[in-house]
Structure 1
Amino acid sequence: MTAPRVVATGLRFPEGPSYLPDGSVAVVEMKGEAVSLVAPDGTVTVAGDCGGGPNGSALGAAGELYVANNGGLSAEGTGYWHAPREFDGCVQRVDRDGTVTTVGGVLPGPAPHRPNDLCFGPDGTLYVTDSADWENLRDIKPGRVVAIGADGSQLGHVEVPAMPNGVVFGPDGRLYLSQTLTRKVLAYQVSGGEFGEPEQVLKVPSGMPDGLCFDGQGTLYVCGSVGNVIHVYVGLELKESIETGEGTQPTNCCVGDDGSLYVTFGLTGQLVAYDLGLTPTTVHTGSIAGAAS
């Protein structure tokens, strides 16, 4: 495997990349409290000042972005970083003019809410993971996956223990979910906010599953986060593991229309691209009504 191409550096704990139609990549900067756009030439422009701890992004149907904001928490060495503008976590909409609004209201379950990742389903429903109080790993509460409709209402949710994290729709129409503390990936049949029973589809051999994505051939890429690895699955069987290098911490990934696998390295503050000649995939979009924050 050739070394990745470095697209951008100096990002403040990047997460949640989303490939955009113009060839740029949206990334959230958790410690920058913002969502930013990385142009193909590496130029970084802030698209929205979110506050808190932006943790994941999803592209909307009209070019807007949706952000899972954990409220202002990040791991830092042996402790935790807290944002200057900390609040209970929520889901945000960032319009192309930079306006930031909240969507989905107060998430279900006890505070603190720690939204982590999000994606649209085929019907335009927005699914967001809430990882719960992961600053309390020894006694972490169950998290949830919450479905949000186009009008901003919550359509339903499912409780998931052991830190629900990355989320993506697969080519089989199921919702795939990283369960970080068990090192498993689960799959759910979903419809209109209703969730079926979870099926364990794999367990990563190293690292802790974080963000994940599919390419157009159905190959699944799972970021192994603290293990500094990306696991590649064909037919849900492990094909290879891409070592990203000590201290990189790959947090999330997406496939671009240019055939590259884009990966955020949290600890080194980089967006990198593995130019693998992949088949792009169809990414579902939608629009969710926002309320002034």
Structure 2
Amino acid sequence: MGQIETIATGLRLPEGPAFTADGTLWCVEQEGESLFFLKPDGESGRVSVGAGSRPNGLYVDSLDRLWFCDSGLNAIRCLNYSAGATLDMKPEIIIDQVDGKPLNMPNDLIRDSAGNLIFSCPGPSGDEATPTGYVCVCTPVGEVFKITEGLFYPNGLALLPDGNTLLIAETHRKRIWYGYWDPNADEPAWENPDIWVKTGEPGHGPDGMTIGPDGNLYVAVYGAACVKVYDQQGKHLRDISLPGECPTNVACDPTGRRGIVITEGERGELLQINP
């Protein structure tokens, strides 16, 4: 594994790193009410997403639209970067309800091969007495429904390379679940869920996660100062030690130029593990 390099500092609780097609690295600032960007030439800046917002997980689709969870506004929002997004553009609210009720502080999101948008809603981070967290899907035709509920802070999401195994991080129980997922079903469902791995001590538990170019799962463990790496059968391969205690999420540069990128909340940094 390559050397760890700090590529951005002074960020206000960064999360959700992702890349647009031009190589620009984006992340959210949960406490900064903004999306931060770092271009390949080193230029950086911010897009404000409005007072009261708290952007969290971020996903870039094939059209270069930036989808992100907003736990402050209880919504899934979208910024169309491909349309020539400027610093004064405001993202739209796309989803703000499920079962006729406001979303419960959405946290992270991914999209499957059929275009279904899957997102977690953990609720407040301090609510550990009752398992009120759930995960939803929004189909390509805009239908939104829950695929699982009763979790203690569901957080990061990932699909294994087979496209039919959906992983859900349950932060407050320090474990990751897996279950069968059929993207092409008329009404997609998360079937036969079971515990995939327990991330153990130390730290608060698994946060954001992604599949690396090697097919392994990279998991940011909040409070543990590391990213844990698992193979596709859930075998723990190694830990990547980090300079800060609180990694929040991880992404891989599809071009390979930046290697693995990690958002670090304690120090407000973007980290790069050089390929």
* Residue in 2 that maps onto 1:181: 172
- C-alpha distance 48-122 of structure 1, shift in aligned 2 (>3 A): farther
Q: How far apart are residue 129 of structure 1 and its match? A: 0.3
Q: How far apart are residue 152 of structure 1 and its match? A: 2.8
Identity between Structure 1 and Structure 2 (%): 25
Q: Name the CA distance, whole Å, in 2 between partners of 1:109 and 1:190.
A: 25
> Is the aligned partner of 1:257 residue 2:258?
no
Q: How far apart are residue 112 of structure 1 and its match? A: 7.1
Residues 157 and 168, structure 2, Cα contact 8 Å, conserved in 1: yes
**Which of 139, 142, 147 lines up with 2:137 in the alignment?**
147
> Is the aligned partner of 1:91 residue 2:107?
no
Q: Name the CA distance, whole Å, in 1 between partners of 2:17 and 2:141.
A: 25
TM-score, normalised to structure 2, is 0.86
Per-residue Cα deviation, 1:56-109 (whole angstroms, up to 9, x for no partner): 1001232111011111xxxxxxxxxxxxxxx4x111111223331112231348
Q: Name the CA distance, whole Å, in 1 between partners of 2:215 and 2:79.
A: 30
> Is the aligned partner of 1:266 residue 2:261?
no
SS in structure 2 at match of 1:181: helix
Q: Name the CA distance, whole Å, in 2 between partners of 1:99 and 1:197.
A: 40
* Residue in 1 that maps onto 2:159: 169
* Residue in 2 that maps onto 1:133: 124
SS in structure 1 at match of 2:22: coil
AA in 1 matched with 2:137:
A
- C-alpha distance 141-39 of structure 1, shift in aligned 2 (>3 A): same
- C-alpha distance 61-240 of structure 1, shift in aligned 2 (>3 A): same
Q: How far apart are residue 116 of structure 1 and its match? A: 0.6
Q: Which runs of 5+ in 1 are unaligned?
A: 72-86, 277-293
Q: How far apart are residue 183 of structure 1 and its match? A: 0.9
Per-residue Cα deviation, 1:198-241 (whole angstroms, up to 9, x for no partner): 12111113321000011132111111111111111124211111
Q: Name the CA distance, whole Å, in 2 between partners of 1:111 and 1:155.
A: 12
1:196-211 equivalences under 5 Å are: 196-206=191-201, 207=203, 208-211=205-208
Residues 228 and 249, structure 1, Cα contact 8 Å, conserved in 2: yes
* Residue in 2 that maps onto 1:64: 65
* Residue in 2 that maps onto 1:282: none
Residues 246 and 264, structure 2, Cα contact 8 Å, conserved in 1: yes
Count of residues in Structure 1 that have an aligned counterpart in Structure 2 = 258
Residues 103 and 152, structure 1, Cα contact 8 Å, conserved in 2: no
Q: Name the CA distance, whole Å, in 2 between partners of 1:11 and 1:18.
A: 16
Q: How far apart are residue 110 of structure 1 and its match? A: 6.6
Q: Which has the higher mean CA deviation after the structures are superposed, 105-114 or 58-67? A: 105-114
Q: Name the CA distance, whole Å, in 2 between partners of 1:181 and 1:99.
A: 33
- C-alpha distance 31-263 of structure 1, shift in aligned 2 (>3 A): same
Q: How far apart are residue 42 of structure 1 and its match? A: 4.1
Q: Name the CA distance, whole Å, in 2 between partners of 1:210 and 1:53.
A: 17
Residues 8 and 43, structure 1, Cα contact 8 Å, conserved in 2: no
* Residue in 1 that maps onto 2:95: 104
Q: How far apart are residue 172 of structure 1 and its match? A: 2.1
Residues 224 and 245, structure 2, Cα contact 8 Å, conserved in 1: no
Q: Which has the higher mean CA deviation after the structures are superposed, 16-25 or 108-117? A: 108-117
Runs of 4+ in 1 over 3 A off after TM superposition: 107-112
AA in 2 matched with 1:195:
W
Q: Name the CA distance, whole Å, in 2 between partners of 1:189 and 1:264.
A: 29
* Residue in 2 that maps onto 1:239: 237
Q: How far apart are residue 4 of structure 1 and its match? A: 0.9
SS in structure 2 at match of 1:28: strand
Q: Name the CA distance, whole Å, in 2 between partners of 1:93 and 1:188.
A: 28
Residues 13 and 265, structure 1, Cα contact 8 Å, conserved in 2: yes
- C-alpha distance 156-141 of structure 1, shift in aligned 2 (>3 A): closer
Q: How far apart are residue 156 of structure 1 and its match? A: 4.2
Residues 105 and 152, structure 1, Cα contact 8 Å, conserved in 2: no
SS in structure 2 at match of 1:268: coil
AA in 2 matched with 1:31:
E
* Residue in 2 that maps onto 1:53: 54
AA in 1 matched with 2:211:
F
**Which of 90, 105, 112 lines up with 1:114 in the alignment?**
105
Residues 67 and 76, structure 2, Cα contact 8 Å, conserved in 1: yes
